[in-house]
């Protein structure tokens, strides 16, 4: 799966206003005016980095936000079918003081400007050694996003490329579809998902088609 646009730098840069003190979590951002009783019967949650957006390490710069190829088609199909759409993201750069909540929100705002609104963003602001329950592969980020949408995990499907997000989905009792890492060369097939009950697709658009056909 190829990215739209040119490769961008991946080295994290310290940013002012890191908001290190604001690390309670998970952070949940819901679409204004949306409530958990609005009615979708199913939801799809995309991994942010490498699946929805080009993976730029610890990115807090909206100018570096680039969608992955195929993601627009997937979102159009899923929204057209009436599914709720959300995003999952581990952001250990917050724990390291490289970025803060304002930078996370700025990246999300840019993504929505490019791809349309999302019903929920669920973000873990902790590091892997912080012992939280929301840093994927722990399941709490998935369950929190589903709760915000008013849906049980059994009505949620997670689409992602990394083992952590897929394991989090399955641990939460949600469904999972693996797609290739966003940096993979176009045309390279996705390896079979070895996690129990995890399906595989060649990219986001095929994952959406697979989901809607079943």
The full DSSP string for the chain is -PBSS----------S---TT---S-EEEE-TT--TTS--S-EEEEETBTTTB---TT---GGG--BBTTHHHHHHHHHHTT-EEEEEEE-HHHHTTS--HHHHHHHHHHHHHHH---SEEEEE-S-TTS--SSSTTSSHHHHHHHHHTT--GGGEEEEESSHHHHHHHHHHT-EEEE---TTSPTTPPPPPP-STTEEE-SSHHHHHHHHHH-
**pLDDT class for 214, splitting at 50, 70, 90?**
confident
The answer to whether residue 20 sits within a structural domain is: no
CATH of the domain at 132: 3.40.50.1000
Question: Per the domain annotation, does 18 fall within a domain?
Answer: no
Q: How does residue 141 score in pLDDT terms, banded at 50, 70 and 90?
A: very high
The number of distinct structural domains making up the chain is: 1
Residue 144 lies in a domain: yes
Convert the pLDDT of each residue in 24-50 to its tens digit.
779 999 987 665 555 678 999 999 999
Q: What is the pLDDT of residues 149-182, one digit of tens each?
A: 999 999 999 999 999 999 999 999 999 999 998 7
The pLDDT value recorded for residue 17 is 39
Task: Categorize the per-residue pLDDT at 16 as very low, low, confident or very high, splitting at 50, 70 and 90.
Answer: very low
For residue 5, being part of any structural domain is answered with: no
Residue 31 lies in a domain: yes
Mean per-residue pLDDT, 55-68: 96
| Percent of the chain predicted with pLDDT > 90 | 72
> Lowest mean pLDDT: which of 4-13, 76-85, 123-132?
4-13
Any domain includes 113: yes
Residue 150: give the domain boundaries: 27-213
Domain membership flag for residue 57: yes
* Residue 67, in any domain of the structure: yes
- In the structure, what pLDDT confidence band is assigned to residue 23 with cuts at 50, 70 and 90? low
Write down the pTM of the prediction.
0.83
């Amino acid at each position: 799966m190829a990215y739209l646009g040119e490769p961008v730098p991946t080295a994290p840069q310290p940013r002012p206003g890191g908001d290190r003190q604001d690390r309670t979590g998970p952070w949940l951002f819901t679409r204004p005016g949306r409530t958990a009783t609005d009615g979708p019967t199913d939801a799809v949650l995309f991994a942010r980095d490498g699946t929805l957006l080009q993976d730029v390490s610890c990115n807090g710069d909206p100018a570096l936000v680039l969608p992955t190829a195929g993601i627009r088609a997937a979102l159009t199909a899923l929204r057209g079918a009436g599914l709720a759409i959300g995003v999952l993201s581990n952001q250990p750069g917050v724990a390291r003081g490289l970025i803060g909540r304002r930078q996370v929100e700025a990246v999300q705002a840019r993504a929505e400007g490019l791809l349309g609104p999302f019903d929920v963003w669920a973000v873990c602001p902790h590091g892997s050694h912080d012992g939280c329950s929301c840093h994927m592969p722990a399941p709490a980020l998935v369950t929190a996003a589903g709760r915000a949408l008013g849906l049980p995990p059994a009505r949620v499907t997670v689409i992602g490329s990394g083992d952590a997000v897929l394991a989090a989905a399955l641990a939460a009792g949600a469904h999972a579809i693996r797609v290739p890492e966003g940096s993979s060369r176009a045309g390279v097939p996705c390896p079979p998902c070895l996690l129990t009950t995890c399906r595989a697709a060649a990219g986001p658009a095929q994952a959406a088609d697979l989901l809607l056909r079943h």
